[in-house]
Amino acid sequence: MAKENWGRWGPEDEAGTLNLITPDKVTAAAGLVSVGRVLSLAQPLSSATPMARHRHGFAHFMDRDGGDYAAGGKRPGGFQFAEDTIMMPVHTGTHIDALCHAWYDDRLYNEFSGDSIRSTKGGQFCGIDKMPPLFTRGILLDAVAQRGEVFPPGETITLNILKAALSATGREIEPGDVVLIRTGWLESHIGRTGVSLDTEPGIDVEGAEWLAESGVAALGADNFAIETIPFPAGAVFPVHQRLIRDYGMPLLEGLVLAPLAKAGAKSFLFSAAPIPIVGGTGSPLAPIAVL
């Protein structure tokens, strides 16, 4: 039973590799801003956002709108307003996985019990509310640029490709970095309906372990699940199991990375803050890169 980072930051730790984002790392990241350009890395959210079949859809309801006033709604002091409500799975669009999202052998990261995740309270340990904000250096590994085109569904982005993409940045991974991998999956689906989440390009366990051992604080990609789908024979979400459960590393999925690549970004200030949903297994995210 692998437990690479279990106990590394104490027996009660629920933040995992985000502990690598130290005050010195934050200060250094702030110094990366050179031109003041801010890029959003988040997908728009709507009923058209690609979503796994087993999840409830995205629902958007208007609680108060112009129609209410057209029907005679009161306007005290002339004041008019609109309000709305959304209902959505937390693992929708651009989002981050909490450390209670995936496990095996009935043990979460840092040896917390899988039984601690309950229908009434969610994750008592390693929930998204225990995850601190991310403010650190980001590095873009542009696998698409290495291949010369987007990766086809089901193809693995190998360790050699990751290393070549890193070499192209002229940077080295340092502890506390957030690494983002551009596969081209999301941009190849823009405007399409009936998007399949049953097959996609992604990394394998070998690449995941290399990134984890390099000191990556969080790993993100522009695809649905970071890793290759279909999975290797006999495995189910092996990268999720290895990184989230064994290393305590959160995963950021569904990122918009084409504009970042177009801007020629190699390293940059990366910032994101999960919504602190008590006991949540993840959170919608609106991350930014500042150049």
Q: Which of 291, 288, 269 is nearest to 35 (CA)?
A: 291
Q: Which three-class secondary structure state does DSSP give residue 16?
A: helix
Q: For residue 187, give the nearest of 260, 251, 291 by alpha carbon.
A: 260
Q: Please tell me the distance from the alpha carbon of residue 128 to that of residue 219, in angstroms, as a whole number.
A: 16
Q: Which CATH architecture fits 16-52+88-290?
A: 3-Layer(bba) Sandwich (3.50)
The residue behind tokens 């790392």 is 25
What is the rounded distance in angstroms from the CA atom of residue 198 to the CA atom of residue 50?
12
Q: Assess contact for 127 and 140: CB atoms under 8 A.
A: no
**Residue 191 pLDDT > 70:** no
For the chain, the average pLDDT equals: 95
Pairing verdict, β 282-284 and 202-203 = unpaired
- Mean pLDDT within 266-290: 97
Stated pTM of the model: 0.94
- 8 A C-beta contact, residue 92 and residue 57: no
- CA-CA distance, 139 to 289, in Å (whole number)? 10
* CA dihedral sign of residues 256, 131, 54, 243: positive
What is the three-class DSSP state of 22?
coil
In this predicted structure, what is the pLDDT of residue 197?
Answer: 80
The tens digit of pLDDT for each residue in 24-35 reads: 999 999 999 999
Instruction: Encode pLDDT of 82-130 as tens digits.
Output: 999 999 999 999 999 999 999 999 999 999 999 999 998 899 999 999 9
CA distances from 222 to 30, 81, 251, 254, 276 (A): 24, 36, 11, 5, 23
- Three-state SS at 116: helix
Task: Check if the beta carbon of residue 95 is closer than 8 Å to that of residue 253.
Answer: yes
Q: Amino acid identity of 101?
A: H
Structure tokens at 142: 């542009």
Q: For the chain, how many helices (H) and strands (E)?
A: 7, 15
- Sequence-distant (≥ 6) Cβ neighbours of residue 165 within 8 angstroms: 141, 142, 143, 145, 146, 181
Closest-CA residue to 253 (of 211, 232, 224, 210): 224
Contact predicate 199/157, CB 8 Å: no
The domain spans of the chain are 16-52+88-290
Helix (H, G, I), strand (E, B) or coil at 168: helix
pLDDT band at 55 (very low <50, low <70, confident <90, very high): confident
Other residues' Cβ atoms within 10 Å of the Cβ of residue 64: 13
